[in-house]
Structure 1
């Protein structure tokens, strides 16, 4: 048994950790107020993995979630005290060789006072969409069904970004100079 490779990042309301194990099965994630316990079988060699982390601060075990994908297991640890930055994931200043910072997702949010949608909410939204796809992917036999689902997904995402009021004004669209030849009156039929 060996630890799974993981990377983490901090946000205002939650801490995120991704265990990078392909084709994982028998995934077990236990959220405790001060600990995270992760185990699974996975990888090309079907090896057993186990990680136990004594967390820097307390979390809300009931508000924490995880999502398994084909390439990893993504965990969202809901902070017990939101708005407090975690300088590291672990309580002790010990360097864990399996853990690194996810610099692609790292953000200095302490100075950012108006996050539109918290990462935790975004995780929940993506989690719901992925659950929807997982549930219906075996039932979709026609390409049209897939296209409909994809369109509804993009409409939902567009809805979250703002309505028509947010669109820029395109000047000159109503000028007579830009009138189209289709705008002319049609002659009567004889």
Structure 2
């Protein structure tokens, strides 16, 4: 373990961090794009991080721990877009309600909701999970599979429409907790709200971390820890590492879904994307080992030949919509106010991006039940307009 003395730089900013708790370990991930000159000093009661990114911005974090850790079994790993720190608890099987000693949480710390779960009855202690995930990332980057596109300039300028006090309920080690903060609605957003099997984007509004993005009708609601002034012009920036991970997994799901149906007639009934694993449910009681192997080989072949991924966005009145009626989902796009006229049930049935760019609504009904109801509602709307 590093025993270096890290001197606080004259000018620096804290690196954004997310964390989660396990039986014997706590994992902290610092989000830094292409970190270099990384120095990490882990002491029993605190840790210090110093590094630079690819544009030579200086990051410096001091983190007093909630409880002491064992420094001999704690370590860090550095990757292209993050620094992962594994902390061994001095008191195993003891839940940390928050990461830092002071209950007043700094704005640069967020909970990693994707990895929070009730671990009281689990056998694993968190170390193996950390190693498997870290080795997977290393393996992916060492086999010449290419890096994620450099999208650190993926930001967007918009304005604050409303800011209201709010609470976010979530579970920490099986216990329901409530975070106090604010719900922010923006004139427009580039952050994807949770839905359709895909988790929400994280990112920044100005320098305020976005903890959760949900949808209310056609609006995207951003939960943050600090208030923003209504009418204020703000810059929105997406957590590109998280977004790109979701893009890869979601694209992979579509490949598996298409091939499973084409090869065996198994339709996808639902799917869920997770940080460590994703789940795809097919409308069959079981899949034979030979079928699973054939499906895996077919998917890998599609990847090896660099099969292009294309997206076609159709408005509801586009004649080309008739050509895709055989698909198992309904995709609806158009001005938000136009979609809102169709009633709240249509919005409820649709899963998608909510209020999109230029005030356009994008959403889809991706199950047979939802598709049928949305189609019936749309038919009623068309008849009213005749």
Flag whether TM exceeds 0.5 (same fold): yes
Matched, 1:118 2:125: yes
SS in 2 for 1:121: helix
SS in 2 for 1:62: strand
User: What TM-score results when the alignment is normalised by the length of structure 1?
Assistant: 0.64
Aligned match of 1:83: 93
RMSD of aligned residue pairs (Cα, Å)? 2.2
Q: Deviations over 1:17-54 (max 9, x none)?
A: 100001100111111001011110015x3201010011
Aligned match of 1:107: 117
Q: CA deviation at 1:129?
A: 5.7
Q: CA deviation at 1:95?
A: 2.0
Instruction: Map 1:8-157 onto structure 2 (within 5 A).
Output: 8-43=19-54, 45-110=55-120, 113-115=121-123, 117-128=124-135, 137=143
Q: CA deviation at 1:125?
A: 3.9
Give structure 1 stretches of 5+ with no counterpart.
139-167, 171-190
Q: Deviations over 1:61-94 (max 9, x none)?
A: 1101111111100111111111000000111112
Q: Distance in 2 between matches of 1:69 and 1:132?
A: 11
Q: CA deviation at 1:137?
A: 4.8
Q: CA deviation at 1:124?
A: 2.7
Aligned match of 2:17: 6
Q: Which has the higher contact order (CA 8 A, sep 6+)?
A: 1
Q: CA deviation at 1:108?
A: 2.3
Q: Deviations over 1:95-138 (max 9, x none)?
A: 2011111111111223xx233x332122234445656677x658
Q: Distance in 1 between matches of 2:46 and 2:139?
A: 30
User: What TM-score results when the alignment is normalised by the length of structure 2?
Assistant: 0.33
SS in 1 for 2:115: coil
Q: Distance in 2 between matches of 1:90 and 1:77?
A: 13
SS in 2 for 1:63: strand
- Structure showing the higher strand proportion among its residues: 2
